[in-house]
């Protein structure tokens, strides 16, 4: 026998109220369907903009509810329960799939419409909207629409907005590209939707459970094209899945490193083997080993880590700073090993920067920690390297010892030396982002 629970009755009542409300409102404007998420980390910073460079305006605590308005550079623009608007790093929130695609576009249909701070006539006026201005409606209640307005939100009477016939989500036009270093993906969230196109508008082909292993096919914007074990192909949001070589993300307390996007660049790769040791081993092998240790350490700290290569493959120089720009890296760290013209001529580590204001503070912060290494610290120097010169993001290049020096080499190929490097970079970044 079916016994409706109190909860269910409540839900039915709520739903009928919502539908009653919307039918009373002008039928041309649909309710923007919003995704509400609950904060699971102990604290998460809310910033004024989508990146670490913006000031913190509030902090969220475990259990707080927020509504996602839009997404940019893997950051979510969110509406807090106080109706304030801010940004949080998407990787610090547990959620399966968020998109702004359900927001409604509209046009102001009246001259000089006032944008109000609150949904009330006597509320403060934030500005005026001209007739035919396009607005994004993020929420509606009691005849008022909340719209995006000058990097925050404002309220406008819903009657002054005419809904636009929206063409489908723009992300569907993104051309997939293949990242050959990714082989497979593991879902780190439950109930992940496998969709027919790289957008939240794509129809759901399957719902996948946590820890599902997927074959990677391509990348399209913030989505991975994948194939499931039972042969279904489709798209999953990239923040629900971890590429094969990386660790699971962890839920951390808010700290600046946890909110940072770090690009780690393993020098050389593939046909470009870099410098040679006396044992005929290659620089490219050790730079990748070191990068993997650093990546694991930073991910443990909650950071969003992106690698320029994850395997022994050739990557040209220009794509490396380009990747940093694309992911809006807060820091780019290139890992190399030095060599001298003759064996056993030189020893020690060097930290290179290019831009005095952009890069040198990062170089100083990291270099200070490298004092813990068993090799001589040769200090911070200007270096005219392409990966630094062409980099729009704060960038450094670390030469972590001379590969053709027998004493340096003993350390370079040891796991304990590589682990110390990871710890030092972690500490240096933590200080740098404070
Ligand atoms: Zn090198």
**CA 342 to centroid of ligand 1, rounded, Å:** 16
* Domain 104-163 -> CATH class: mainly beta
Position with higher pLDDT, 70 vs 327: 327
pLDDT of the residue at 165: 59
* CA-wise closest residue to 108 among 154, 158, 148: 158
**CA 153 to centroid of ligand 1, rounded, Å:** 49
Q: Where are the domains of the chain?
A: 28-99, 104-163, 172-243, 257-433
Cβ 126 vs Cβ 75: under 8 Å: no
- List Cβ neighbours of 402 (8 Å cut-off, separation of 6 or more): 337, 338, 339, 340, 345, 346, 347, 348, 408, 409
**375-387 average pLDDT score:** 97
Q: What is the pLDDT of residues 174-229, one digit of tens each?
A: 567 777 667 788 888 788 889 888 877 778 889 999 889 998 888 887 788 999 98
**CA 353 to centroid of ligand 1, rounded, Å:** 15
**CA 348 to centroid of ligand 1, rounded, Å:** 14
* Domain 257-433 -> CATH class: alpha beta
**410-422 average pLDDT score:** 96
pLDDT of the residue at 48: 87
Mean residue pLDDT of the chain comes to 83
* Domain 172-243 -> CATH class: mainly beta
Domain 28-99, CATH 2.30.30.40 — does that match?
Answer: yes
pLDDT of the residue at 379: 97
Say whether 257-433 and 172-243 share the same fold: no
**CA 268 to centroid of ligand 1, rounded, Å:** 6
**CA 267 to centroid of ligand 1, rounded, Å:** 5
Strand-pair partners of 195: 204, 235
**CA 123 to centroid of ligand 1, rounded, Å:** 61
**CA 23 to centroid of ligand 1, rounded, Å:** 66
pLDDT band at 81 (very low <50, low <70, confident <90, very high): confident
pLDDT band at 402 (very low <50, low <70, confident <90, very high): very high
pLDDT of the residue at 297: 95
Q: Hey, which of 15-19, 55-59, 108-112, 299-303 has the most confident mean pLDDT?
A: 108-112
Q: What is the pLDDT of residues 296-349, one digit of tens each?
A: 999 988 899 999 999 999 999 999 999 999 999 999 999 999 999 999 999 999
Asked if the model's pLDDT at residue 32 lies above 50, the reply is no
Q: What is the pLDDT of residues 155-169, one digit of tens each?
A: 999 999 988 754 444
């Amino acid at each position: 026998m079916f016994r409706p629970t109190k909860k269910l009755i409540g839900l039915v009542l709520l739903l009928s109220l919502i539908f009653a409300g919307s039918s009373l409102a002008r039928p041309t404007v649909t309710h923007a369907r919003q995704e509400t998420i609950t904060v699971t980390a102990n604290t998460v910073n809310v910033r004024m903009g989508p990146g670490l460079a913006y000031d913190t305006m509030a902090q969220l605590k475990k259990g707080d509810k927020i509504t996602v308005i839009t997404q940019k550079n893997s950051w979510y623009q969110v509406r807090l329960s106080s109706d304030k608007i801010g940004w949080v790093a998407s990787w610090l929130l547990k959620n399966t799939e968020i998109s702004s695609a359900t927001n409604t576009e509209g046009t102001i249909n009246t001259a000089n419409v006032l944008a109000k701070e609150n949904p009330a006539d006597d509320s403060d006026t934030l500005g005026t909207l001209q007739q035919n201005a396009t607005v994004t409606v993020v929420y509606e209640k009691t005849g008022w629409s909340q719209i995006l307005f000058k990097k925050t939100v404002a309220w406008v009477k819903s009657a002054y907005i005419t809904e636009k016939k929206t063409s489908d989500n723009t992300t569907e036009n993104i051309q997939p590209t293949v990242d050959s270093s990714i082989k497979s993906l593991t879902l780190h969230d439950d109930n992940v939707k496998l969709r027919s196109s790289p957008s939240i508008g794509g129809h759901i082909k399957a719902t996948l459970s946590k820890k599902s292993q997927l074959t990677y096919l391509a990348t399209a914007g913030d989505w991975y094209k994948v194939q499931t074990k039972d042969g279904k192909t489709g798209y999953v949001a990239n923040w629900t899945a971890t590429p094969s070589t990386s660790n699971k993300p962890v839920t951390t307390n808010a700290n600046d490193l946890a909110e940072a996007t770090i690009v780690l660049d393993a020098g050389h790769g593939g046909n470009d083997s870099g410098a040679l040791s006396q044992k005929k081993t290659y620089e490219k092998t050790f730079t990748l080993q070191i990068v993997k240790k650093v990546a694991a350490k930073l991910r443990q700290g909650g950071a969003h880590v992106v690698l320029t290569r994850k395997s022994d493959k050739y990557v040209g120089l220009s794509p490396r700073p380009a990747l940093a720009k694309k992911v809006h890296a807060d820091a780019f760290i290139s890992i190399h090993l030095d060599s001298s013209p003759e064996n056993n001529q030189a020893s020690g580590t060097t930290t290179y920067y290019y831009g005095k204001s952009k890069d040198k503070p990062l170089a100083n912060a990291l270099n200070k920690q490298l004092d813990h290494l068993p090799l001589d610290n040769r200090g911070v120097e200007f270096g005219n390297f392409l990966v630094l010169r062409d980099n729009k993001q704060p960038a450094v290049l670390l030469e972590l010892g001379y590969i053709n020096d027998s004493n340096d080499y003993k350390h370079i190929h040891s796991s304990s030396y590589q682990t110390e490097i990871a710890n030092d970079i972690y500490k240096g970044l933590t200080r740098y982002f404070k």
